[in-house]
Amino acid sequence: MRSRDGRFDGVFFFAVETTGIYCRPSCPAVTPKRCNVRFFATAAAAQGSGFRACRRCRPDAVPGSAEWNVRADVVGRAMRLIADGVVDREGVAGLAARLGYSARQVQRQLTAELGAGPVALARAQRAHTARVLLQTTDLPVTEIAFASGFASVRQFNDTIREVYAATPTEVRATAPRGRSARRAAAGTAIPLRLAHRGPYQAAAVFDQLAREAVPGVEEVTGAPGARTYRRTLRLPYGTALAAVDERARTPRTGTGTRPGGWLDARLQLTDPRDLGTAVQRLRRLFDLDADPYAVDERLGADPRLAPLVAARPGLRSPGAVDPLEAAVRAVTGVRGTGELVRRYGKLLDAPHGGLTHLFPEPAVLAEAEPAGPLGALAAALADGTVRLDAGADRYDAERALLALPGMDPATVAVVRVRALGDPDVAPPGAALPDGWRPWRSYAVRHLRVAGEPLP
């Protein structure tokens, strides 16, 4: 806090009892007296204790804690599912069923570790989604209330006042300079800033996305350094077109240190209720919640990896917006996946450049291609035998995948990295040192981007 170290933004929050405000560690305001400060693991816990978000550092907009990417326990899985909007869509009972625990057990574990239960954590996320919609769109306030996941306009108004100490109209009026002039009208793209901590090697991410782009569903346009990744998304309530720009932005540091920045993005949604889910899935694709400081510190201590880490600090390990798509691509390759999209993908009502289709659903693929590894995979995903959603148990998923005909360890390793976002996967047959744990997926990325062989 005293050094305003942005490396810890999203890792914890602090609140000041004399002002009733909670902030991120890098907040540029005057450092409060220690006797007046309380610390919280989540923004939801701070809000639950009666503190409102700082208007200067906007702590609700920080990258998510990288801990949830690494952890495979019930709390880590629950946090990934809550971020994906499961509590809003299915309630706490639905969250607990996906985790294989009772609702009481989930409530107890989250509250004990994070200071807030699933409802409070989802509420904090709804408030953030509402602020984004208020400040980036011209949607009526009533529509924003329900689009953010609130059950009533009254609940929406009360929450916004409690979290931001302002009415929804006042929150809209405090949009950052420039945003109020370019707010999106209903039906047009919503401009977003996808925040990340630390350095971000955008070129390597966009190189990989360009190589692997599935025709009809994805495309990368523009010259290196100024490319745009565009794709279609199937979401719980509707569909979307997403665009993310390659050029990473860096905020002014001012006093203190706020390393990190953001990628500019735009989302065109058929149903605004999907905003929070769409943002989280893009964040997983671009690996924006990673902690590059922890990764680089561990891998940079290895003699072989040290020069690679120095050359590309903050190298990311891309994930996926659609686990089915990532798994199918691992089985059939880019060309084969593109042919499946052409045959069985749902056509968009109106093409947008090279974007013409939505990726086929598991049940459609299972019926259309019943034979072979692809058919077995699609059928298992359709009937729930294999789960690859944000809260899936990685080890259970691996065992279930290996039990399918035609699935080999190398393919399953790719699925764990891309579909499940596992940061610590060693390709079969590779003798990776234990010193690279728990970041072996990133170590493999460094070697492959540098064109070096695996050990």
Residues 73 and 169 in one domain: yes
Q: Is 398 among the domain residues?
A: yes
Q: What is the pLDDT of residue 63?
A: 76
Max Cα–Cα distance, the chain, nearest Å = 67
Residues 336 and 376 in one domain: yes
Q: Is 104 among the domain residues?
A: yes
Q: What is the pLDDT of residue 73?
A: 87
Range of the domain at 353: 323-423
> Tens of pLDDT along the chain (455 residues)?
999 888 888 889 999 999 999 999 989 889 999 999 999 999 999 999 999 999 888 887 777 777 777 777 899 999 999 989 999 999 999 999 999 999 999 999 999 998 999 999 999 999 988 988 898 888 899 989 988 889 899 999 999 999 898 999 999 988 766 555 556 665 678 888 898 989 999 999 999 999 999 999 999 999 999 999 999 999 999 999 999 999 877 765 444 444 678 899 999 999 988 998 999 999 999 999 999 999 999 999 999 999 999 999 999 999 999 999 999 999 999 999 999 999 999 999 989 999 999 999 999 999 999 988 999 999 999 999 999 998 899 999 999 999 999 999 999 999 999 999 999 999 999 999 999 999 999 999 999 999 999 99
From the list 218, 244, 228, 235, the residue with the least C-alpha distance to 269 is: 235
Q: What is the pLDDT of residue 255?
A: 41
CATH code of the domain covering residue 164 = 1.10.10.60
Please count the other Cβ atoms lying within 10 Å of the Cβ belonging to residue 103.
17
Residues 132 and 207 in one domain: no
Residues 244 and 196 in one domain: yes
Residues 138 and 230 in one domain: no
Phi, psi for 30 (deg, rounded to 5): -60, 135
Q: Is 179 among the domain residues?
A: no
Q: Is 243 among the domain residues?
A: yes
Please count the other Cβ atoms lying within 10 Å of the Cβ belonging to residue 389.
17
Distance CA 351, CA 216 (A): 9
DSSP E strands: which ranges in 162-260? 190-196, 218-221, 228-234, 239-249
Gap between the terminal Cα atoms of the chain: 41
Residues 331 and 413 in one domain: yes
Distance CA 30, CA 23 (A): 12
Q: In sequence order, what DSSP letters do the residues of 21-73 get, joined into one string?
A: EEE-TT--SPPPPGGGEEEESSHHHHHHTT-EE-TTT-GGGSPPPTHHHH--S
Residues 54 and 78 in one domain: no
Q: What is the pLDDT of residue 187?
A: 61
Q: In sequence order, what DSSP letters do the residues of 347-377 get, joined into one string?
A: EEEEEETTEEEEPPPHHHHHHH--SHHHHHH
Q: Is 1 among the domain residues?
A: no
Residues 166 and 191 in one domain: no
Q: Is 427 helix (H, G, I), strand (E, B) or coil?
A: coil
CA distances, 280 to each of 82, 85, 277, 285, 320 (Å): 10, 9, 5, 9, 11
Give the position of tokens 């509250």.
111
From the list 297, 325, 323, 320, the residue with the least C-alpha distance to 442 is: 297
CATH code of the domain covering residue 355 = 1.10.340.30
Q: Which amino acid is at 430?
A: A
The partner residues of 264 in beta bridges, in order of sequence, read: 193
Please count the other Cβ atoms lying within 10 Å of the Cβ belonging to residue 339.
15
- Determine if the peptide bond prior to 272 is cis (ω within 30°): no
Q: Is 74 among the domain residues?
A: yes
Q: What is the pLDDT of residue 366?
A: 94
Give the position of tokens 């370019």.
182
Residues 55 and 82 in one domain: no
Q: Is 429 among the domain residues?
A: no
Distance CA 294, CA 415 (A): 24
Q: Is 239 among the domain residues?
A: yes
Of 22, 37, 61, the residue at which a domain comes to its end is: 61
Q: What is the pLDDT of residue 8?
A: 87
CATH code of the domain covering residue 272 = 3.30.310
Q: Which amino acid is at 178?
A: G
Distance CA 184, CA 194 (A): 17
The partner residues of 380 in beta bridges, in order of sequence, read: none
Of 226, 257, 283, the residue at which a domain comes to its end is: 283
Residues 168 and 90 in one domain: yes
Q: Taking the CA atoms of 433, 435, 436 and 439 in sequence, report the sign of the dihedral they define.
A: positive
Of 173, 206, 232, the residue at which a domain comes to its end is: 173
CA distances, 244 to each of 269, 289, 321, 350, 403 (Å): 15, 16, 13, 20, 37
Number of domains within the chain: 4
Query: How many Cα atoms sit within 13 Å of 196 on the Cβ side?
Result: 27
Residues 82 and 41 in one domain: no
Residues 215 and 148 in one domain: no
